[in-house]
Structure 1
Amino acid sequence: MIPLLSFGLADTVRCLLGPRIVLRNSNVRVTRPRTGDGTVWHTSPPSRLVSAPTVIACLIYLDAADEQTGPLLMVPGSHHRPDRPPAADDPFDDQVTIQVQPGEVVLMDAALWHRGGTNHSERARRLLTLQLSSIFMPEFNFEPSLPSADYQRLLEQARSSEDEPLLELLGHGGLNPISARYWPHRRRTDDSLPRGRHC
């Protein structure tokens, strides 16, 4: 959550998606050295809305993504395609290669076909991935996970300070993604968490 709070990523995404957004998913990806591992082509679910994008992926690189550790590969314009990419690592004629330095952030329409290249180096490739979406997007299709102690502390801090923008990102403020109505302006007594809204 530190990148969201300290570096204005949420505000940047609000400029792209509109004022009502939620943290859809977050994870850490580690590609270990000397493994030849990479990721297959992937994308977020297609948008239900006419306008695009509805999900922004924020890739925060902790290590270099270069020719040795595996660059970021994308297919320009693929976010307009109605189909999904094949779950493979075969190259496309129109793919582009992007090398990223530690500390750099890539923001992209999550519907863009992309993947991480293979790591043949002596170094690991680590990155944080945050998906921020319009509240009108469906739930993500990953396995649900229990909230961490850090998430619970952050939620309590946001509740006690009545930090509406942060409560909205955590799925406990702003608009309710199920009813599209505003949450009541009172402290919620239940600790139930909307699926997919925690890190």
Structure 2
Amino acid sequence: MRRRPRCCLVVARRGVGGGRRRRRNRSPSKGYPVNRPNVSRAGRAFREDGYIVFRQVFSDRQIELFRELRDAAVRDWCFANGTTDRPLVVGDLLERYPRVMLGVVTHATLLDFAEAIMGPFVQLDSLVLFGAQPEPPDRRGRPVCWHRDRFGFFPPGTYTRPLTLICFAYLQPMTDEAGPLRVIPGSHRNRVGIADDDVEHPHPEEQLIRTHPGDVVAIHHNLLHSGTHNVSAAERQFLGISYTLTCLGTRDDTFDGPNCRALAETARRTHDRRLLRLLGHDDTISERQNTGFTAPDEIAWSAWRAEDDAHAKEASNERAAVDHARRMLK
């Protein structure tokens, strides 16, 4: 198998001013490596545009495995429901496939970025595999429906911290036939509205995100976005990860099955507060979500990360044993 380059991100750049511009039909190609020193740079770009593209987060083999897992989960769902009609979404993936999905939701590129823009309060809200069936050719190039996601609101004209970060890992090249994701850059903070009659029509300021398998698009929950109708010969598939703030609780998944409970118990044994939060167990929420907020968030966030790292070191031997066992079992 060919060696893949390091994960890169792509940042969209637009002209200044409030005028409308002609719709662009390709996403920018410039990227740079993403690692801890560059997380703040990625955060600045995200605050400006409301989305970011991370290139080649997942390997070819992982993408192939995601397709296989969707097919297996769909067949199980159809069997249980006594139907041959394929569901649009299958969830509970961390419970179903912990050996695969734990590494997905804790991927350093994604989780480091989520914590950089949301603070050390990141909880997993949902983990799904989505598949849209092919549609008639006359729907080519048409948005499915422009919208902002759950917890959204009409922007006040300035940036606000996302309540949810949504990540899309598309499992096929996002061609015109497959139907690329469409976004309106800056609409997470700017007062951009769309009339009811126009929610299924292209927007003059839209950006079409043409990704390849392995790339991940992360968007602010308040960013106006839409899918595009799939007119290819196959399902339009993506792995979707939704991270939310721990104070909001979960809406799509309880993460309370036996596998998720075991993951949480192991995280507690290894002093892994980060994973505990991800699974909905934030033991520090009362203290950290009620500090008085008299200083910039980043100051407290940095101190709390250091506290969490020190707490984890107290169980470093146990953590090493767990990591070794999991490597052997993959």
TM-score w.r.t. the length of structure 1 is 0.72
Q: Is 1:168–1:175's contact at 8 Å kept on the other side of the alignment?
A: no
Counterpart CA distance in 1 for 2:255 and 2:123 is: 17
Q: Is 1:20–1:174's contact at 8 Å kept on the other side of the alignment?
A: no
SS across alignment from 2:211: coil
How far apart are 1:143 and its partner, in Å?
5.8
1:43 aligned residue: 148
1:3/1:41 Cα in 2 relative to 1: closer, same or farther (>3 Å)? same
Q: Is 1:63–1:126's contact at 8 Å kept on the other side of the alignment?
A: yes
1:66/1:157 Cα in 2 relative to 1: closer, same or farther (>3 Å)? farther
Q: Quick check: 1:122 aligned with 2:214?
A: no
2:267 aligned residue: 158
Task: Report the identity percentage.
Answer: 24
Counterpart CA distance in 2 for 1:158 and 1:121 is: 43
How far apart are 1:65 and its partner, in Å?
1.9
Deviations 1:78-134 (A, max 9, x none): 112457765942221211111111110112212111111111001222112222233
1:30/1:161 Cα in 2 relative to 1: closer, same or farther (>3 Å)? same
Q: Per residue, is there more helix in 1 or in 2?
A: 2
SS across alignment from 1:79: coil
User: Tell me, which stretches of 5 or more residues in structure 1 are unaligned?
Assistant: 186-199
Counterpart CA distance in 1 for 2:173 and 2:257 is: 28
2:242 aligned residue: 131
Q: Is 2:159–2:188's contact at 8 Å kept on the other side of the alignment?
A: no
Counterpart CA distance in 1 for 2:189 and 2:180 is: 23
2:167 aligned residue: 58
SS across alignment from 1:69: coil
How far apart are 1:150 and its partner, in Å?
4.0
SS across alignment from 2:289: coil
1:39/1:53 Cα in 2 relative to 1: closer, same or farther (>3 Å)? farther
1:173 aligned residue: 282
1:99 aligned residue: 210
1:80/1:121 Cα in 2 relative to 1: closer, same or farther (>3 Å)? same
1:18/1:168 Cα in 2 relative to 1: closer, same or farther (>3 Å)? same
TM-score w.r.t. the length of structure 2 is 0.46
Q: Per residue, is there more strand in 1 or in 2?
A: 1
Counterpart CA distance in 2 for 1:32 and 1:132 is: 26
- Amino acid paired to 2:115: R
Deviations 1:2-23 (A, max 9, x none): 3122343111111122222222
2:110 aligned residue: 9
Q: Is 2:166–2:221's contact at 8 Å kept on the other side of the alignment?
A: yes
1:4/1:66 Cα in 2 relative to 1: closer, same or farther (>3 Å)? same
- Amino acid paired to 1:79: H
1:151/1:42 Cα in 2 relative to 1: closer, same or farther (>3 Å)? farther
Q: Is 1:165–1:174's contact at 8 Å kept on the other side of the alignment?
A: no
